[in-house]
Chains A and B, each alone.
Chain A
Amino acid sequence: MAKAKASQAAAESAAGQAGAIDGIPQPKLDWAGRSNQWGTRVKPNAYGLRLGDLNVGIYGEIPDQWQDQTRNPRGAIPRKGVPPLGFAIRDKSDLWAESSGDLYEEAIQRRWAPATDIPWNTLKPLNEGLERAICQVSTELCQYANCDVETITSWQHQMAYGYHEVKQFLATASFDAARQFEAFRKRALSNGGGLGLEGPGQVNRMILESRGGWTEAVTYLFLMRGTFTMTMLRYLERYAHNDAERALYRYTLQDKARQMTYGLEHLQYSIAHQDDMALIMQQLLFIGDRVWAREMKDHVLMEALCVVFAGGISDAGTTGYAIYRQMMGDFMNSYVDTCEWLGVKRQPEMMPNSMTQYLKVN
């Protein structure tokens, strides 16, 4: 244990002096000199002083398991005898992604406020069909965001302190979801429309019910729902009808891209460090695909997207539907490619036809 030398002498001198003053207790200073690693001087660089910069010496040693059940900061000397808090996730392979610290700093740097960063004054009255469709899509995006909020926040407190970078990144991710909830509600209520019909909720249920571990939740929340949301947002951005919506989609894409990056990197890490994780994911996705396919049979979101892409009802069944199919093709290709990249086998015969039909589109 490194001991700060000066504190010893200083402590002695203080004990002498402090005792001389009436009513002022002498400091015990039993904490002084107690550090696992003293002499750490991390300097800011061109990007400031970032979380990852702190990972020097023992402060950067991130073990595969973190058995400490208190809030002992990584690298501090633990205190014995502290009643445990009961963190359930204590294996690195159950939550880790190397870029968590950097993604946290990115999230903080790229902060935005729907109230003031969206040019709301560019919203102009749209034809009623289009406004209804945009409001429907906004409602579903609110509900996706709600599912993100409820899922992420139900896991955060279960994660051990040794992996604080992940806890910190997820704090920004659940906040991003709160902002998405807020932003799309604002869009729905600001141009003569209102909220739409709630979504079918089957995929939400699957995500919320993923109790087998955070990695399972990540599989459904990011790999499956996240890939779909990213694809949908890209298309919404491409076919946006004013600058306010364009900005809304762009900011949300940026936020979601961080979550996707954490999620995919975590899955990759988990597969590399747990024997049968690729097989578990294959099972989860086999089931997940069928839930997904059932939800996609619901026509509401599909029709709303067709109307948005076509700019109104009249061409929604032709041009709008063609663009929708193209979007679904991009989603399916991206989903299957990502699974392959992760090493999770996804032969088309394992998937429902209602999904694989889109693999041929683009």
Chain B
Amino acid sequence: MVKGPYIGYILGDLNYRREPGMSEAVDLATVEIELKLDWMNRQGEWQTHAKPGKSGLTLADIQIGSYGETPEISDNMTGRPRGAQARPGSFRIGNYSVRTKNEIWLENASFLYEEALQRQWSSATDVPWHTIEPLPDDIEEAQCELATFLTEVEFVAGDVPARWISETTPDYFEPRNVLLAQVMDEARHMDVFRKRALANGGGLMQATGGTAGVVGSIDLARDFTEMSSRLHISGEGAVLTIFRMGELMAYNDAEKAIYRLCAQDEARHVAFGVMHMRYMSEEAPDRHEEIECYLDEAERQILAGSQNPAGNQTASSEALAILLGGGVAHYDEGFRKLMAIRRRQLVEYMKRVKSAGFGKRFENGRSQVKEMMAVSAA
């Protein structure tokens, strides 16, 4: 239960004002001081008139004059908001390993951020939980296996971006804010699948260890783009395809809503990765080969491995096949649908990588995706 001195602000309506500890407004003008006001001549660019457009006052609307300019290399080590006047005496307290624009930038961050704000949802009240009815035991068990896996892995996409946010200069606050919205989205994903596992007579099952601390994992990346290629492009891309096929494996409106709402969030996360990689590919051709290496690794480990719920012969892929087929007795039918989903994952992955500027790898024999396609078509 929420309690404490600030409860009025938390649970009251927005007009809640009075709190114990706030003095009545009284005239206390007994002491007079001389103000220096010298700081009024030490402010950022003036005369800025951002105007709200049809979507309100968006981040794009405040990219005005010098406030819209982002440095290629950030020398802001004091955490000042971009465009504010610097104080020469400020301490260098910024722990910023990400302070080169092409390391994190993307063109549509403002749009993705505003979208994230407008499309927030609540797993407590926006999922019609009452539509869940008891399911046959094998279906419920498969659903709980998948929900356990997703509860386990969803917050890798919260923990890891959070760590990178703490190391990113506020000069690049637009991408940073998108990532902060992602961290919150992932908290909700972790939570909605835990809710599903405990809502229908089942329970959590055995963890898979799908996000272990091993070389090549999302957790251990030492470069932001490396992390983003693993997390956004291959990991979340694969999950997005599955969520989009949610209709095929949902047994009630609650599950349909869960997959639809999660897919909407994941689409933004994947878009972040694709748009960032595109920016990187255009602005830093010298890093092209390095990024190809990240993609090699991501294809090997994440698309094919246990982090992909539709991967090869894992607990979650078996559970998916049972859900898709309509029970253990129809496993073969479910497995065929699963193979179709895996092909679709690969097709969508190729589309994203092409769009990010790395399409050649599918023509020059570097990528293994075509072989993976052949296997899942067999």
Contact = CB atoms under 8 A, between A and B. Distances in A.
A113 B118 contact: yes
Given A149-B176, A329-B23, A139 B91 contact: no
Interface in B133-183: 136-138, 140-141, 144-145, 148, 151-153, 155-156, 158-160, 162-163, 165-167, 170, 173, 176-177, 180-181, 183
A78 B32 CA distance: 67
A198 B81 contact: yes
Dominant secondary structure at the B interface: loop
B47 A322 contact: no
5 contacts: A28-B313, A54-B195, A171-B186, A174-B162, A196-B85
Given A44-B129, A167-B155, A156 B162 contact: yes
B318 A171 contact: no
Which residue among A99, A171, A174, A200 has the maximum number of chain B CB atoms within 10 Å of its CB? A171
Nearest to B68: A189
B31 A200 contact: no
B214 A83 contact: yes
Given A44-B130, A317-B34, A18 B205 contact: no
Nearest to B161: A153
Interface string B56-100: 111100101001000000000011110111110111011100000
The 3 closest A-B pairs by CB, nearest first: A6-B137, A115-B56, A82-B209
Contacts of B327: 10
A108 B121 CA distance: 7
A168 B23 contact: no
Contacts of A330: 21-23
Question: What class of interface size applies to chain A in its complex with B?
Answer: 35 or more
Interface string B187-209: 11011001101111111111111
B374 interface: no
Nearest to A327: B23
Contacts of B93: 201, 204-205, 208-209
A190 B51 contact: yes
B252 interface: no
Contact of A79 (B50, B81, B207): B207
A185 B64 CA distance: 12
A286 interface: no
A111 B120 contact: yes
A321 B30 CA distance: 9
B151 A121 contact: no
A115 B117 contact: yes
Given A76-B148, A194-B47, 5 more contacts: A14-B328, A37-B203, A109-B125, A194-B83, A247-B14
Interface in A342-362: 361-362
Contact of B114 (A44, A113, A250, A303): A113
Given A42-B199, A135-B43, A197-B39, A77 B50 contact: no
A230 B6 CA distance: 9
Contact of A194 (B67, B137, B153, B203): B67
A105 B122 contact: yes
B32 A142 contact: no
Interface of B: 1-11, 14-15, 17, 19, 21-23, 25-37, 39-40, 42-52, 55-59, 62, 64, 67, 78-81, 83-87, 89-91, 93-95, 113-114, 117-118, 120, 122-125, 127, 129-130, 136-138, 140-141, 144-145, 148, 151-153, 155-156, 158-160, 162-163, 165-167, 170, 173, 176-177, 180-181, 183-184, 186-188, 190-191, 194-195, 197-214, 219, 313, 315, 318-319, 321-322, 327-329, 331-332, 335-336, 378
A198 B78 contact: yes
A284 interface: no
A59 B120 CA distance: 27
Contact of B207 (A69, A71, A247, A338): A71
B343 to A, nearest CB: 15
A167 B2 contact: no
B173 to A, nearest CB: 6
Interface in A33-88: 33-44, 47-51, 54, 56, 59, 69-73, 75-79, 81-86
A281 interface: no
B138 A186 contact: no
A243 B116 CA distance: 25
Contact of B138 (A10, A142, A152, A189): A10
Contact of B14 (A106, A186, A254): A254
Interface string A166-198: 011001101101110110011011111111111
Contacts of B202: 4, 35, 38-40
Contacts of B59: 115, 182
Contacts of A42: 195, 198-199
A123 B204 CA distance: 52
B91 to A, nearest CB: 5
A208 B22 CA distance: 29
